[in-house]
Amino acid sequence: MLLSKGYEVHGILRRNSSMSKGTMDLLPENIMKQISIHYGDVTDGNFISNILSKERPEEIYHLAAQSFVGYSFQNALSTYDTNIGGTLNVCNAVKDSSPDSRLYFAATSELFGQPKESPQNELTPFVPRSPYAVAKLAGFWTVRTYRDAYRLFMTNGILFNHESEVRGPEFVTRKISQGVARIGNGSDEPIVLGNLGAVKDWGYAKDYVNGMWKMLQQDYPDDFVLGTGEAHTVREFVEAAFTLIKIKITWKGSGVNEVGLSEDGRTLVKVSREFFRPLESDNFRADYTKALKKLKWKPKTKFNDLVRIMVNSDMNKIKAIKLSNLA
Ligand code: GDD
């Protein structure tokens, strides 16, 4: 999106011994060629300061994080190091080395925990319920504090779940779209999930990056909720995804014994304790009135379209592999 607007884009990547670029490897070559990559880590304050004083970017999109909520329960310290320490490094580097940069910080709907009021907006109390959310709360307040104390242009984007065809495979939407694509191509291996009743507000990431950009084009820095205003359960996501391969799922049993069956009696969805979290954060539904009013932002992609985009993309990937095996 930034390239299409004529930006010079720099990205920061962590080096690894195989020199793989993670999800950036999914970008087409002609796009990758236009991005200057700098190898470093957000937890390295010197590196962040040096790169900001050298490049003096007009805009910074600080998305670097340990972003998997489930993992944060197992590795709280490394989540805190990256998500709190890394954000502090970025804020300090902006303050000391590039104070004219405008900063976007990826805050999150996870800050709301399990909200009693619905929908949630910028005034809804934050009650985090995971090490990930606690760390993001520290990031949120660091951004607010630096903005007010040093008069810097720093914004918090309180984004509800935003998914796409390049979502990591451990996140529930992609796990489902990949599983459905596999089953649609002849596999009988069921999709194994955790809490089917979790209620989330799922939107399409492409819509949300436009909102992030808009936050940095304002006259004054502020905090904004972005979401769809629609709530769905994991179970509904599963049903919508299977509909695309013409399978109607019927649910039987409850708790970890619940299964999703096809009309011909195949078990296509199972539940395992392994994928439950010690504490759930859900009951999410965004009230994006402020973004609509001030940013003129609203989501374009409906829930069923999001599911279709993700399942079709995974179906096409399997087709492409099959074709290349034939060739
Ligand atoms: N990952 C996963 N795997 N989640 C499952 C599963 C499963 O097998 N089964 C049920 N769930 C439920 C989780 O308990 C959670 O309530 C919901 O599905 C979504 O989980 P994730 O896809 O892992 O995403 P998330 O909501 O925890 O967090 C994502 O969205 C946040 C809000 O934008 C991440 O992108 C966060 O970094 C982000 O802050």
Which residue CA neighbors atom 23 of ligand 1 most closely? 171
The residue from 108, 124, 173, 228 that is catalytic is 108
* Structure confidence at residue 143 (pLDDT): 98
- Which residue's structure tokens are 């949120």? 140
CB contact set of 63 (below 8 Å; sequence gap of 6+) = 106
Measured CA to CA, the distance from residue 83 to residue 127 in angstroms comes to 17
Which two three-digit tokens encode residue 21? 């670029």
Measured CA to CA, the distance from residue 58 to residue 100 in angstroms comes to 7
307 contacts 244 by C-beta, under 8 angstroms: yes
* Structure confidence at residue 323 (pLDDT): 86
Query: Is 3-164+204-230+281-302 assigned to CATH 3.60.70.12?
Result: no
91-102: pLDDT as tens digits: 999 999 999 999
Whether ligand 1 lies within 6 angstroms of the CB of 142 is answered as no
28-77: pLDDT as tens digits: 999 999 999 999 999 999 999 999 999 999 999 999 999 999 999 999 99
Q: Name which of 209, 212, 251, 210 is nearest 233 in CA terms.
A: 251
The residue from 132, 146, 204, 288 that is catalytic is 132
> Taking all residues of the chain, what is their mean pLDDT, rounded to a whole number?
97
pLDDT at 129 over 90: yes
CA distances from 320 to 32, 61, 185, 246 (A): 22, 33, 12, 21
The residue from 110, 163, 165, 239 that is catalytic is 110
For this structure, is 108 an active site residue? yes
241-298: pLDDT as tens digits: 999 999 999 999 999 999 999 999 999 999 999 999 999 999 999 999 999 999 999 9
Atom of ligand 1 nearest to the CA of 170: 1
Task: Find residue 282's DSSP bridge partners.
Answer: none
Which two three-digit tokens encode residue 97? 């080395």
* Structure confidence at residue 269 (pLDDT): 98
Give the domain ranges of the chain: 3-164+204-230+281-302
pLDDT at 141 over 90: yes
pLDDT at 83 over 80: yes
- Which residue's structure tokens are 């399997």? 318
Which residue CA neighbors atom 21 of ligand 1 most closely? 171
pLDDT at 324 over 90: no
Residue 220 DSSP one-character state: S
Residue 186 DSSP one-character state: T
Whether ligand 1 lies within 6 angstroms of the CB of 172 is answered as yes
- Which residue's structure tokens are 């998914």? 163
CA distances from 228 to 1, 69, 209, 244, 308 (A): 20, 21, 14, 22, 17
* Structure confidence at residue 325 (pLDDT): 86
Distance 284 CA to ligand 1 centre (A): 12
CA distances from 115 to 112, 138, 256, 291 (A): 6, 19, 25, 20
Q: By three-state DSSP, how is residue 64 classified?
A: coil
Share of the chain above pLDDT 90, in %: 94
Q: Name which of 244, 245, 246, 268 is nearest 258 in CA terms.
A: 268
* Structure confidence at residue 75 (pLDDT): 98
When pLDDT is cut at 50, 70 and 90, the band that residue 24 belongs to is: confident
The mean pLDDT value for 206-213 works out to: 98
Which two three-digit tokens encode residue 147? 């903005």
